[in-house]
Amino acid sequence: MRLTKFGHACVRLEEGDTTIVLDPGTLTDPSAADGADAVLITHEHFDHFAPETLTAAATSNPALTVWAPASVVEQLSEIEELTGRLRTAAHGQAFEVGGLDVHVYGEWHAPTHLDPVHNVGYRVGGQVFHPGDAFTVPEDPVPVLLLPVAGPWLKSLEVLEFAEAVGATRGFAIHDGIVNDIGLRLVDTILAATSKRTGADYRRLDTGEHTEL
């Protein structure tokens, strides 16, 4: 499986002929979702969810499906290009995209100053877990964790504790599109501390950079 990091919390996963894109929000180049077989949205905040990106992706691939919490599906339901493409994702569900199985975990966004919103995480192909903006710990093994590292809803100690609780063998930073170059140095320091605490390899990919899993 190839994992490519795009802006902020967006990653693109490719295995064989199947492409899945997670959380292409407004801080992500819309082309990240071009040609995707499925787009998985964790929650409705702008940095994870952009209706215009999904509309363009649906135009790019007439077979596209979009999985998201009910609140997001409701917002998208009036977009003509997405008619028949929307699927509601909720905790405990499992489905397939091409040859990849996807499992859904969690219900709520981590607490913030904003009103609570639903948030789901996705484990793709039995390998990669994207938690969205939450500290959901799946009851199933997670080899690769996409680890949120910066935001108004988390602090550095929580990053370490979450990684330790999930118990992945490697991980990559997400949710870093809101920090500047100085902030990214801090992110790298936090990732180094996470690696030391967990004994796993945590690092940051630049936008457009990919790795083979």
Cα torsion at 130, 124, 140, 108 (round to 10°)?
40
- Residue 114: predicted pLDDT: 86
Q: What tens digit of pLDDT does each residue of 115-130 get?
A: 899 999 999 999 999 9
Residues 133 and 109: beta-carbon distance below 8 Å:
yes
Burial class (CB in 10 A: 0-12, 13-18, 19+), 96: exposed
- Residue 184: predicted pLDDT: 95
The three-state secondary structure class of 131 is coil
Question: CA–CA distance from 8 to each of 25, 64, 131, 172, 196 (Å)?
Answer: 8, 22, 14, 12, 24
Q: How far is it, in rounded angstroms, from Cα 88 to Cα 99?
A: 20
- Residue 142: predicted pLDDT: 98
Relative to beta strand 65-68, strand 86-88 is parallel
Asked whether residue 100 carries a pLDDT value surpassing 90, the answer given is: yes
Closest CA to 20 of 74, 83, 66, 89: 66
**Location of structure tokens 């796993």:** 200
* Stretch (H or E) spanning 124: strand 121-124
Relative to beta strand 128-130, strand 121-124 is antiparallel
- Per-residue pLDDT, averaged over 74-83, amounts to 95
Whole-number percent of the chain with pLDDT over 90: 97
How many Cα atoms within 13 Å fall on the side-chain side of residue 32? 33
Alpha helices in the chain (DSSP H): 51-60, 70-76, 156-166, 181-198
- Residue 201: predicted pLDDT: 98
Asked whether residue 81 carries a pLDDT value surpassing 90, the answer given is: yes
Asked whether residue 207 carries a pLDDT value surpassing 90, the answer given is: yes
pLDDT, the chain, mean: 96
Asked whether residue 162 carries a pLDDT value surpassing 90, the answer given is: yes
Asked whether residue 93 carries a pLDDT value surpassing 90, the answer given is: yes
Asked whether residue 6 carries a pLDDT value surpassing 90, the answer given is: yes
Question: CA–CA distance from 144 to each of 66, 134, 174, 182, 201 (Å)?
Answer: 23, 16, 12, 26, 10
- Per-residue pLDDT, averaged over 105-116, amounts to 94
In the chain the domains, ranked by start, together with CATH numbers, are 2-206 (3.60.15.10)
Q: How far is it, in rounded angstroms, from Cα 58 to Cα 49?
A: 14
